[in-house]
Amino acid sequence: MNNNKHSHIIILEPSLIIAEGLVYLINKQSKSFEFSIINSLEKIDLITTRKKTELIIINPSYIQNNTKSFNNIKNDYHQIKWIGLIYAYFEQELLDKLDDIITISDTIEVIYGKINKLLNQENTCNKTNSPEILSDREIDVLKLLAVGLTNKEIADKLTISIHTVISHRKNISQKTGIKSVSGLTIYAVLQKIISTDSLSL
Amino acid sequence: MNNNKHSHIIILEPSLIIAEGLVYLINKQSKSFEFSIINSLEKIDLITTRKKTELIIINPSYIQNNTKSFNNIKNDYHQIKWIGLIYAYFEQELLDKLDDIITISDTIEVIYGKINKLLNQENTCNKTNSPEILSDREIDVLKLLAVGLTNKEIADKLTISIHTVISHRKNISQKTGIKSVSGLTIYAVLQKIISTDSLSL
DNA sequence: AAACAATTCATTATTTATAGTGATTTCAAA
DNA sequence: TTTGAAATCACTATAAATAATGAATTGTTT
């Protein structure tokens, strides 16, 4: 168990609902943490200069568009542990950059356990087995396909032409050997490219 | 503005983080609400018998697999308003059953505004399109659809005409509120109508 | 007997998806 | 520097799915 008084945790999460809910629940488990809720990677610097931060709980979307900044911060502050807070689908490659992952469906016990585990360990790198057959863009397309969008809708969403979407789908089907939408959907679920959390339970 | 003291709100959301975060933020705006956080449709009955509920904030996944229960509750308690709390993709048909929608990215001002708007209006009924469980034949069709067969192939397999298959599919989509093949596939998986083993790779 | 749900089949018009074949640009690895 | 993968876009022709309406038959249930 973590005995440090007032370990400092930064929460980087766009939804205030989620951020405050997390703070509330962790506080209910233990008063030994101090929190800063922020909404951009850049603000990490401001906070860490004033206060030693031990853990950052981050919505991976902040990394998605700022991989460079993220890597810089990670290099600057080796001691900081990173936990991904996820409630949508993210590429496995993205999640691999983090030390651990929690989801909004996790019980507070699980979350609290993971936090303490990270704060009390020196180093544990995790590597995962991602098939990596599909390219980034193909995964983008597959994600949208698997939630029911048509080619046209996917094109609009990704701001590319429908021809490109069709092209990607051709490649996806070739690479995976799966032609049907239903097959690709199940593939996406099994590969954790999409989540059924939203539908289950 | 809502002047009722202690309006009662039920929150039906699997993620405690989100539920508690929502309560925290709404409370910060106004102390005039009382909350019950629950995790199944069935518990609505228990609570509403003891306390008059005016609003239910619900994660639509609870409806997806229990459309029947949902409709029953909606019929039993006409006065209750429903707000969907979404952070994943849901079919529009599903969301149409609700009076309004908030997302976890919404600011508390937006959320608070929507709650008050609903609580202060007398009636804005939106009709429900009575969905029921699928018939035997519809399940036959869904099974084959969910493993990737085309309508024509399904027709051949069931030795019926393609018109009949299309007819069944129309009914399936109406009953479930799910139009896309991928959505129906996930539905079939979650309903254990098919197993992911059949297509695993 | 009347009402109803389930199953079956049909037509027409329109929208989407698929198959096949190219092509250009960019960027990283050999 | 050549090679190749990734991402982008295009054209043609065909196949498949959907929407809107309609209807006949067989069973149950009331």
Contacts of residue A85, defined as CB under 8 A and 6 or more positions apart, other chains included, come to A11, A13, A18, A22, A57, A58, A59, A60, A101, A102, A103, A104
- The two three-digit tokens of residue A95, written as one number: 């999640």
Q: What is the pTM of this model?
A: 0.47
- CATH class of this structure's domain B136-199: mainly alpha
The CATH architecture to which A7-120 belongs is 3-Layer(aba) Sandwich (3.40)
- Is strand D in 7 Å reach of the CB of B8? no
| pLDDT given at position B129 | 29
Contact B18 A195 (CB under 8 A): no
Give the mean pLDDT of A155-183: 89
- Is strand D in 7 Å reach of the CB of B167? yes
Chain A interface includes B186 (CB < 8 A): yes
CA distances from A118 to A86, A92, A100, A155 (A): 17, 20, 8, 41
pLDDT band at A6; cut points 50, 70, 90: low
In this predicted model, which residue has the larger pLDDT, A126 or B56?
A: B56
Percent of chain B past pLDDT 90, that is, above it, reads 15
In 3D space, the residue among B131, B80, B107, B118 whose CA is nearest the CA of residue B25 turns out to be: B107
Q: Give the residue carrying structure tokens 């691999």.
A: A96
Chain A interface includes B65 (CB < 8 A): yes
Distance of C1' in D14 from CA in B94, Å:
35
In 3D space, the residue among B108, B181, B165 whose CA is nearest the CA of residue A145 turns out to be: B181
Q: Where are the domains of chain A?
A: 7-120, 136-190
Distance of C1' in D4 from CA in A156, Å:
29
What are the beta bridge partners of residue A8? A34
Q: What is the DSSP letter of B193?
A: S
The CATH number assigned to the domain with range A136-190 reads 1.10.10.10
Percent of chain B past pLDDT 70, that is, above it, reads 83
Contact A200 B104 (CB under 8 A): no
Q: Which of residues 18-57 of A touch B (CB under 8 A)?
A: 18-22, 24-25
Q: What is the pLDDT of residues B125-170, one digit of tens each?
A: 232 222 347 888 998 899 889 888 999 989 988 899 999 999 999 8
Domains B7-119 and B136-199 in one fold: no
CATH 3.40.50.2300 fits B7-119, yes or no: yes
- The two three-digit tokens of residue B86, written as one number: 């979404």
Q: What is the pLDDT of residues A8-37, one digit of tens each?
A: 899 999 888 899 999 999 988 888 888 999
